[in-house]
Amino acid sequence: MQVSKHPPVTFPTYDRRYLAMSLNRFENIGKSARKDGAKLIGSHTDHPMHVVHVFYETPSMDALMGMMMEPDIVAMIAFCKTRVFPVMDHRSTHGMHKN
């Protein structure tokens, strides 16, 4: 899961430069993900807090990190503070702990 937060001053709706980066990223994110062996699951915005949560399915952290280095993704996160969390669904987590 990728969590990106941007300051209000770089809010894409009010700044054409950031809007272009944002639109380009979300238009190409699926292609960028597939190129590196990842799959975009979904993207959700916490609009009042200026936070975007993006979920990917990846075969490895290397695939995720490769995708995060794609130019359209780097351009978008350049004006955000971005963190990546390795998360999984509950069934996968519970399946790890078989008796």
Report pLDDT digits (tens) over 6-57: 888 887 777 788 788 777 777 777 777 778 788 889 889 898 999 999 998 9
The pLDDT, as a whole number, for residue 3 is 94
Q: Residue 89: in which H helix or E strand, if any? A: none
The pLDDT, as a whole number, for residue 98 is 65
Question: Which two structure tokens, joined as six digits, stand for 46?
Answer: 């916490």
Q: Residue 39: in which H helix or E strand, if any? A: strand 39-46
**Alpha helix (H) residue ranges in the chain:** 16-35, 61-68, 71-77, 90-95
Of 82, 79, 98, 96, the closest CA to residue 22 belongs to 79
CB atoms within 10 A of CB 73: 22
